[in-house]
Structure 1
């Protein structure tokens, strides 16, 4: 090889070090373009005609993960030990970059990382070939969980925020007496699987000053029953009050306010669930959100009381409730289980309460890992407090907002994150045609303690989108005396959907504590056909099945806003269904509590 010529290797990977097969590598120099030849997946060989400055262009090609291209400058200069390679892009940051350069005998090597568009560089890598379904509301969600639990053969691993043993996963006869319904409760189903030699491991948040529920404590104290229970505290301490109220913080100091808010179920390492529903009695409803639904009564309510609810003579104990849970089969289930294993084994190692009656979760057996049965790319993303200190959910959320071009659709219990409102405002300034639709709880947005931050975030977006408004969900119907009644639906969901391409669902709310230090778990999904179907199904639920829906995103947004404006004058006529109303959070004079408290 002539002395001036130089051989260069370009290694192209994702942020999680997976080779990017089929990428395009070109170097533009004074003598034109030189194209790299792929010798092994993600490894490209380039022979440069001479030393000097080159523009390096790396494009991902048909990568199954949507990746960002890279354009940067390489400097190839002579040195004492041969050619010396340097790159314009720095070695830090999370965007596409030259991660490092090195010189080997006879060649120089550039390590290129192509950043994800949608997924986070933090935590577990995204995987391909997952089968995903997002189940809407508790009837469908808990039914799917119950079916998986009852079919378990080896192991059941559950994380949840609050655990009420009386939660009925299945409710086939809402008028039945408690004794007839007891077999359908989460506690009895888990106990039945433990008796069938299925190892049941239940991981709960350990809240300050609140005891473990009696049924959970009983099995936790029983050795050898195949039903193990551990609890975990969140060590995060923060000041309660905002900067305007320093006296309160000086008086109280920093307070332990974090929790472990994850809600996951993994069955046999094969089926996983990740969502927002707690294992509480109120976390159940049908997709219809009927006003008088006897299945929303407390477990202990007798048949006679439930019959009165069905007849519209009294209301159920729990209001209509809206939520989501994702059911997953495929390689990302291993990451849901790894999240459980990491937390559980650490507690056993540290000798947490009941650890002496608990067993370690082994690493997954590669031979037993599930096959890739579907088409969705999925990433398990987390917020984790110290010592894990992970903010993958926030990273994925901000990436999705930045990537949005047509529609940013959010459903969440809260909408008061300064990170999200700032990112949405920036995206709207850059792209005035971006539609932003946010469904949230009107009660939470106007909460006396935390509503100030909801209003502040709302106003920040209004600076960029003057017509921006929030939407609440309501249901209407007539009681047993013929009187028309309206009730707000308790919106507990945590859903992000962008451009009918990207979906994220899980436990993390749109508040800064969820993004910073709560123990949270979400799944991020890239699958255009899946995302479009999910979004259209939700629109049809809220818009009474309007037959005009389904033409394109922009037209559907117009129909959405048309219905909301009409509903502001009164409930829609016809068959009762959950419906939208626009609202703006009430102004608050002061922000008493710090932004990260609620």
Structure 2
């Protein structure tokens, strides 16, 4: 396969397209070994586009989207990792007759077009990203208009996400790439250091931001519409009707196509989930493109931690006559969490590639902007160009999770000897480098031609004094820090974790799935308690004066009447923000002595439960189901009896987060008395046990020598039998539920 792939660009770029044949027709006459894009191998669909345009940076994309939405007649379908209705699409561009704020624009076009429906499918995001999102956006969107359909999609494996960024309008126009309709994406190609237009909805200036999107029409747009409809069906169990042939052309008049008459490859990543097979077309396409390149590979990406891509690049670097490889990455990851996880993994890949670069054909740069405090703009694009013969743009990062765990979509076009396509790909490459270097695309092209080398041209041009440049990127985190970071697949997994496997062999076959996950989860919780107690003891015992000062401060705080109200408010607010109630209880037990810790946890948990119960009663089940997607069916089924036993069951054996249980209980019309009594009976033992365990942990870490080990032994003697008893009852409950389901089906 390698020889076939390697000959594709070499042979394809040297032959001209026969006159009278369009690019798709010409591709069909090529032998298979001259093609890179192959359906069912590295792409899901090869579909024709009459028009194809590169939209560099969100200024161009948002303006095009604005024009397209105002022309929509039947449906606008959006899937994204993030969505924010507050973004300004046009900034200082000429405003038309429609509002420029995204949410207001939707309301305006819906009010004027009675046949129009707008569908928005956003990833049901992790709590890690909570403060980067528009809080309560789902409630505002749902209440705003009956033909604005907003759903959250959590239909993916544990640890995964939906990362596609696609907009389809009337099945006649589609946008796909790396840009979400969210805050802190907008920027122009000039990337000025302090552009006053580059503000988030809170009015704060954010750094320059670079990304790329693609616009397509024709069969390619219809195929992306098919993909979006399948996502919607999986998330909501409802179908979006197909659009009828559009009477009006939604293509934005200000967007000049870069290519006409081209075949577009649509590549996906989809994880194995609920009977669906894994799809790794994006990873396969990366490997095929890297193996096929003869002259150069140019990559822009937010990450560089993919094992598959790193191995493929290293293999080409070891070849004596391999291609030049130029990679543009952001200088630092955004935020300390990513810097010390993904940043470390990127450093490992960079070092490995540099060690393989025996023939000096590798350059890794970051874009530098004079006048910025940190000196660099954020590279968020997911793009690869090879030999002027193939370009791919989409949502997939160069990390492991984008190759197998997350849901991704990339678009690719292949020249196959078509000179028009080759010129468009070459121009895109030159425009990108011109933006990074502060130059004109013509000068970049002339320098590449005169130098006969992409690396040679970039090295020459980056020395110009323009205020913009690219600088060599080297791993800036110390190597010793890498040694204490876990294996890369734990930080950047390519498949969902299966925590139950280590204990699978010790459990009965028919009960493995539920009981093993429960056991491992409990053991992890115990490990967390030991770790946190040990860290807190070690830290405080190492600083005697600090420990005394904190203790005195705690005593003073306990004497403040407002403290109790503040703690209870934290429980309510934290639960509404989906912070696990177990975490809040654990922190209370850790910070306060046992009696105070128990009282705060007990009162805070039950107050939060009642507040959420009232919210659920007000919202109703239909609204909650539209917010949470397909996750509430089972939970509602468990509460259909509507009595104390139903609430007690889901509280004592938690099958869903505390917040969801409380909301669904309110929406299910369970009597408030039954809900409160069931919550009291179901949660109080767990709260007491958590406070008890944390208290013992603190005692254990205070006791010296033999006494410490005796306490650990006694604690284990108490905990293990209780744990096994819970597992026994849980297995029994699962079997009873399965028998009930089988009986009902019969």
| Worse-matched range after superposition: 205-214 or 521-530 | 205-214
**Take 2:134 and 2:332, find their aligned partners in 1: how far apart are those partners?**
29
Give CA deviations for 1:28-79 in whole Å, capped at 9, x if unaligned: xxxxxxxxxxxxxxxxxxxxxxxxxxxxxxxx9953475534xxxxxxxxxx
Partners in 1 of 2:58 and 2:407 — Cα distance?
22
Secondary structure (helix, strand or coil) at the match of 2:491 reads coil
SS of residue paired to 1:381? strand
* 1:504-523 Cα distance to aligned partner (Å, 9 max, x none): 11111000101111011111
2:338 maps to 1:450: no
Q: How does 1:102-501 map to 2 (within 5 A)?
A: 116-119=35-38, 121-122=40-41, 124-172=44-92, 183-195=99-111, 196-197=113-114, 198-209=116-127, 213-221=135-143, 225-236=146-157, 256-301=158-203, 317-349=205-237, 360-363=239-242, 374-387=260-273, 388=276, 389-430=278-319, 432-444=321-333, 447-466=339-358, 467=360, 468-477=362-371, 487-501=375-389
Q: Give the C-alpha shift of residue 192 in structure 1.
A: 1.7
**Pick aligned residue for 1:550 from 437, 445, 452:** 445
Whole-Å Cα distance in 2 between the matches of residues 458 and 530 of structure 1?
Answer: 30
Residue of 447, 453, 459 corresponding to 1:561 = 459
Shift of 1:334: 1.3
Tell me, in whole angstroms, the C-alpha distance in 2 between the residues paired with 1:192 and 1:582.
48
Deviations 1:512-555 (A, max 9, x none): 10111101111111232221111111122223326653245634
CA distance in 2, matches of 1:67, 1:486: 50
Indicate the residue corresponding to 2:469 in structure 1. Answer: 579
Equivalent position SS for 2:197:
helix
**Aligned CA distance change for structure 1 residues 585 and 234 (closer, same or farther; 3 Å):** farther
For these two proteins, the number of residue pairs brought into alignment is 433
Q: Does 1:518 align with 2:518?
A: no
Measure the CA separation in 1 of the matches of 2:210 and 2:84. 19
TM-score, scaled to structure 1: 0.66
Post-superposition offset of 1:474: 1.9
Gaps of 5+ in 2: 1-23, 252-256, 415-420, 493-746
Q: Which has the larger radius of gyration?
A: 2
Native 8 Å contact 2:98 2:105 kept in 1: no
> Could you tell me the TM-score, scaled by structure 2's length?
0.54
| Rounded Cα–Cα distance in structure 2 between residues aligned with 1:460 and 1:376 | 37
Distance 1:212 1:169, change over 3 A: closer
- Paired position in structure 1 for 2:507: none
Deviation sequence 1:546-575 (CA, Å, 0-9, x none): 6653245634431112234x3xxxxx534x
Q: Find the counterpart in structure 1 of residue 607 from structure 2.
A: none
How far has the Cα of 1:347 moved from its partner? 2.4
1:374 Cα offset (Å): 2.2
Rate the CA distance shift 1:401–1:368 in 2: closer, same or farther, 3 A.
farther
Stretch of structure 1 that moved more, 129-138 or 144-153: 129-138
1:589 aligns with 482
Preserved CA contact (<8 Å) 1:440 1:471: yes
Secondary structure of 1:347's aligned partner: helix
CA RMSD of aligned residues (A): 3.2
Q: 2:341–2:491: 8 Å Cα contact kept in structure 1? A: no
Q: What's the offset of the Cα at 1:186?
A: 1.4
Return the alpha-carbon distance in structure 1 between the equivalents of residues 308 and 121 of structure 2: 30
Deviations 1:475-498 (A, max 9, x none): 114xxxxxx866210111110111
Task: State how far apart, in whole Å, the 2-side matches of 1:147 and 1:392 are.
Answer: 32
Equivalent of 1:505, from 381, 393, 404? 393
Considering fraction of residues, name the structure with more strand.
Answer: 1
Higher helix proportion (structure 1 or 2): 2
Q: CA deviation at 1:263?
A: 0.5
Cα distance change on mapping 1:130 and 1:397 into 2, 3 Å: farther
Q: Structure 1 residue 469: deviation in Å?
A: 3.5
SS in 2 for 1:331: helix
Between stretches 442-451 and 334-343, larger displacement belongs to 442-451
Give the drift of 1:124.
Answer: 2.6
Helix, strand or coil: the match of 2:122?
strand
CA pair 458-383 structure 1, distance change in 2 beyond 3 A: same
Asked if the contact 1:422–1:460 (Cα under 8 Å) also holds between the matched residues in 2, the reply is no
- Contact preservation (8 Å) 1:137, 1:285: yes
Secondary structure at the aligned position of 1:496 is classed as strand
Residues 67 and 117 in structure 1, CA contact (< 8 A), matched pair in contact too:
no
Kindly indicate whether the alpha-carbon contact (under 8 Å) linking 1:285 and 1:320 is maintained by their aligned counterparts in 2: yes
Distance 1:61 1:340 in 2: 27
Paired position in structure 2 for 1:77: none
Q: Which runs of 5+ in 1 are unaligned?
A: 1-59, 70-114, 237-255, 302-315, 350-358, 478-483, 567-571
Cα distance between partner residues in 1 of 2:320 and 2:148 = 53
Give the C-alpha shift of residue 205 in structure 1: 0.3
For residues 430 and 510 of structure 1, do their structure 2 counterparts lie closer, same or farther at Cα, with a shift above 3 Å needed? same
Alignment of 1:46-57 (within 5 A): none
- The aligned runs of 1:84-103 (5 Å cut-off) are none
